[in-house]
Amino acid sequence: MINQFEVMETIKMIQEEKLDIRTITMGISLRDCSDADGEAARRKIYDKITRYAANLVKIGEDIEKEYGIPIIHKRISVTPISLIAESCDEEDYVKFAKTLDAAAEAVGVNFIGGFSALVHKGYTSGDRKLIRSIPLALSTTQKVCSSVNVASTKAGINMDAVAEMGQVIKEAAELTAADGGLACAKLVVFANVPEDNPFMAGAFHGIGEPECVINVGISGPGTVKSALEKVKGADFGTVAETIKKTAFKITRMGQLVAQEASRRLGVSFGILDLSLAPTPAIGDSVAHILEEMGLERCGTHGTTAALAMLNDAVKKGGTMASSYVGGLSGAFTPVSEDAGMIDAVVKGALSIDKLEAMTCVCSVGLDMIVVPGSTKAETLSAIIADETAIGVVNNKTTAVRIIPAPGKNVGDVVEFGGLLGSGPVMAVNPFGSEAFIKRGGRIPAPIHSLRN
């Protein structure tokens, strides 16, 4: 029999350390929903999503109850809509976003991702229309998430798209000015986007994916932090070993839930995403793990090294625990969604520049960062260019989810509510990048011999 200590450890992890399954995301291919008639395409999209995902929420809740482990989100990702919508001759894709929103509402999921376009090498006409529709689509829907991949290691950086995304973000912020620019929290700009990521806002169902698939994202920063509290002062070998063991346990639980969900839904299991995803709740912070390692505040010198080690140890421990690992897998550093990060910004310990450095060694990028509403579109584009360059050159995924909150300045705090948390407005570099962004074109793919 399982011993008492193990039972109590599991229960403590769930109850006190906020261990949970962050998301069960059902990926649904919409490739058979294209139609020359936009209305017909939307009908097919709605019918297919509501048919495949009819039981998703119910089965998620059943598993939650039987295993006693909270499953925070049940979500859906779909084929990038630019690929589906471009068969019709409509100019405006907002109606497609509304269809996704209605389908998500009907099946009871809280987000649906895939209002997306992949333009790392260039635009098709559908990509262009989709990107132009993003600000209105995100400001007139509740549950739709959007992502645009503007760069890849093999293709380089599409600087036309980078320039346009700066404008799109500005426009989306202005359309939702009353909510602090909330639409931007549902929009991610990527380099090397993964096709099987279960986490929002960047989830979509890639074109190499099967008809329908279950991807699961795990979490557990609180569990890692409390494991580290038990090895105070020990050397880094011990710290890495402790993180690995904890990540292994968390991931095994995720694997169990993923297999169970895919079996009950009759859908193949795709991947487990081994991410430490924080929430604004106390005791669920990645920043606090870094501080537990001995940093006075997240963002001070040593933060990048601490994060690099954390990220690596999580992957090492988690990989052995799951048969298929994918998605973003690593530690997330979304500022507004992490109590420790928010604190670090407010105390002046953490800047955008340091976050950018941190993204070289962790899983995503500049995530949920609020900047002054007066930030120029070109500056946003330049921030995206920097971040995508890190991804492209280092052969990793990077992303930008940035919110130029209208009317807000450094020192203000923007409340988004719920899991999106509250974002202190961070300073951007006051010097311009207009002429750089205006050039347009494509930054060539980097060479990968002669590595220095």
Partner 1 sequence: MRAVITVIGKDKVGIIAGVSAILANCNVNILDISQTTMQDIFTMITLVDISKMSVGFSELSDRLEEKGKELGLEIKAQHEDIFNSMHRI
Query: Where along the sequence are the contacts to partner 1 (CB under 8 A)?
Result: 1-2, 4, 6-11, 62, 65-69, 249, 252-253, 255-256
Nearest CA among 103, 322, 83, 320 for reference residue 208: 83
Nearest to partner 1 of 80, 217 (CB atom): 217
Residue 417's contacts (CB-CB under 8 Å, 6 or more residues apart) are none
Q: Minimal distance in Å, beta carbon 380 to partner 1?
A: 43
DSSP string, 203-265: ----TTS-SEEEEEEE--HHHHHHHHHTTTT--HHHHHHHHHHHHHHHHHHHHHHHHHHHHHH
Cα separation, 307 vs 286, in Å, equals 9
Judged by DSSP in three states, 89 sits in coil
Q: Taking CA 446 as the corner, what is the angle to CA 441 and CA 449, rounded to the nearest 5 degrees?
A: 160
Q: Nearest approach, Cβ of 219 to partner 1 (angstroms)?
A: 15
Least Å from the CB of residue 8 to partner 1: 7
Q: How far apart are CA 243 and CA 262, in angstroms?
A: 28
Residue with Cβ nearer partner 1 (9 or 160) = 9
Closest contact distance (angstroms) between CB of 315 and partner 1 is 18
Is the CB of 8 or the CB of 282 nearer to partner 1? 8
Nearest alpha carbon to residue 149 among 181, 174, 123:
123
Three-class DSSP category at 331? strand
Pick between residue 223 and residue 359 the one whose CB is nearest to partner 1.
Answer: 223
Q: In angstroms, what is the minimal distance from the CB of 103 to partner 1?
A: 27
Nearest to 223 by CA among 5, 7, 11: 11
Least distance in angstroms from the C-beta of 221 to partner 1: 17
- Give the C-alpha separation, 232 to 313, whole Å: 17
Q: Minimum distance from CB of 9 to partner 1 (Å)? A: 8
